[in-house]
Amino acid sequence: MAAILIYSEKSPLALELLTAAAVIAQDTDLDVKAVCINNNEQADEMAGRGATTYHIQDNLNLADTACVAAALEQAVNKLDASIVLLSSNRRGKELAGRLAQKIQAGCLTDVNGLAVVEGKIQCSRNALGGAVISTQRIETEQQVIALTPRSFEASPVQEGGSVQPLAIEAVSSPLKLISSRGQAGDTVDIEAADILVIVGQGMEEEDMGLVESIAQTLGGEIACSKPLATDRKWLPEDRIVGLSGKKCKPQLAIILGVSGQVQFTVGIRDAHTIVAINNDENAYILQMADYAMVADLKEILPELKGALG
C-alpha cells in the first residue's frame, strides 16, 4: 500500500511530522513510514510514538543536501511513498526542492496547515511576503510537503511502533565538511517565550536598557524586527521576528517602534494579545493591536518601567 514517508534530521520536528502524517492518514488509505538516518536515538523515539520506522545506516554526508536527497529517493521507491513530509527548517527546505526535482514531484514548503478534502491534501502557507495566506494543492502523483516547525504538536507516546533497517546503495559526496559548531553565546528561543517585547527601528539604542528591564520584570524575552539585527546589529539574528526570521505565537507581544510591514507582522500575528506603541498614529501595527498606544518611546518607556516597579 502506498505510504506517507516522513523525515527530519531534528527529532522534535520529526515528532511533529508524525502528527501531521496522522492527520493525512486518517482520511486516506496511506500508511505512515518514518525514516531516520544514522540516528539510533531518533529511530527508537519514533518507534516509541507508534511509528513504523526505517533506519538507514550508511556512510552518508548529512551536510550534503544532494546526498540526503539521493538516499531519500531510494527510500521513497523502496517504501512506495506517494507523500513525503519534511520539516521546513533550513536543511529541510533545501532538501525539499532537491528531492522533489529528483522524483518529479510538486512541492510546497513553509506549510503551516494541512487538511484532507475529498481525498486530496490542501496546504496553507504564507505568500506575497506574508500579505496573504494561500490554500494550495499539489497535483502531481508524488508530493513533497515541508512543514513549518511548531505547526503541529509532537506525536504522543503510542504502542505498535517498530524499527527495521533500510539498506540503500552508497551515495558519494563531493562536499567536504571542514568544521561544524553550535552557535556560541545567545541561545534564547524566542519562539518558546510566553511574553515577547519586540523592538523596531523607532527605538534608540540608549533606551535598550529600559526595554531589557521591562522585559525582565514581565518575565519575557526581547525580540526585534529584521533591520535591528541585520543593519544595526543590536541583537543577534536569532531574535528576528518575521518572514525571514521566527514565527512566534506568544501569549503577549509588546511591540515598540515597529511600523508593521507585512514581512514583520507575519511573524507575530498569531500572538494571543498584542500591545503596540508607536509615535506614528498611522502606523499599521496599531491596527493589528489589542491595545494600541500612540506615544513617544523616549517618554513612555521610563514611565512604564516606573509603573512596573
Partner 1 sequence: MNIVVALKQVPDLQQIRIRNRQPVFDGVPYTIGSIDKNALEAGVQLKEVSGGNLMAVSVGNEELEDTIKEALAGGADEACLVIDDKFADIESSISAALLAAAIKKIDDVGLLLFGEGSGDNYSGQVSSRVAEILGFPQIGYASQIELEGQTARITRVLEDSEEVLEVRMPVVVSVLSDINKPRIPSVTQILKAGRKPKKVLGIDDLEIELSGDRTITTLSSLAPETDRQRIAIKSAADLISALRAEGFLGR
For helices 208-218 and 297-308, angle between their N-to-C axes, nearest 10 degrees: 30
Stretch that binds partner 1, among 20-28, 42-50, 92-100, 154-162 (CB under 8 A): 92-100
Using rule CB under 8 A, residue 157 touches partner 1: no
Q: How far is the CB of 164 from partner 1 (least distance, A)?
A: 29
Rounded to whole angstroms, how far apart are CA atoms 26 and 136?
A: 20
Q: How far is the CB of 94 from partner 1 (least distance, A)?
A: 4
Using rule CB under 8 A, residue 119 touches partner 1: no
Using rule CB under 8 A, residue 95 touches partner 1: yes
Taking CB under 8 A as the criterion, the residue among 29, 205, 206, 231 binding partner 1 is 231
Q: How far is the CB of 223 from partner 1 (least distance, A)?
A: 15
Cβ proximity to partner 1: between 127 and 167 the closer is 127
For helices 65-78 and 90-102, angle between their N-to-C axes, nearest 10 degrees: 60
Using rule CB under 8 A, residue 156 touches partner 1: no
CB half-sphere exposure, 104, CA atoms < 13 A: 3
Segment 256 to 285, residues that bind partner 1, using CB under 8 A: 261-263, 269, 273-275
Stretch that binds partner 1, among 27-35, 37-45, 63-71, 74-82 (CB under 8 A): 63-71
Taking CB under 8 A as the criterion, the residue among 12, 244, 296, 298 binding partner 1 is 244
Q: How far is the CB of 231 from partner 1 (least distance, A)?
A: 7
Cβ proximity to partner 1: between 46 and 138 the closer is 138
Using rule CB under 8 A, residue 230 touches partner 1: yes
Reduced to 3 states (helix: H, G, I; strand: E, B; else coil), residue 23 is helix
Stretch that binds partner 1, among 41-49, 50-58, 106-114, 154-162 (CB under 8 A): 106-114
Cβ proximity to partner 1: between 183 and 282 the closer is 183
The letter for the amino acid at 243 is L
Using rule CB under 8 A, residue 151 touches partner 1: no
Cβ density class 14-53: b for 16+ within 10 Å, e for less: bbbbbbbbbbbbeebebbbbbbbbebeebbebbbbbbbbb
Using rule CB under 8 A, residue 221 touches partner 1: no
Query: What is the β-pairing status of strands 195-199 and 81-87?
Result: unpaired
Rounded to whole angstroms, how far apart are CA atoms 175 and 144?
A: 25
The letter for the amino acid at 36 is C
Neighbours of 291 (CB within 10 A): 12
CA 257 to chain centre: 26
The residue with cell 511502533 is 161
Taking CB under 8 A as the criterion, the residue among 109, 148, 155, 225 binding partner 1 is 109
Neighbours of 112 (CB within 10 A): 18
Using rule CB under 8 A, residue 213 touches partner 1: no
The residue with cell 510546497 is 108
Q: How far is the CB of 160 from partner 1 (least distance, A)?
A: 32
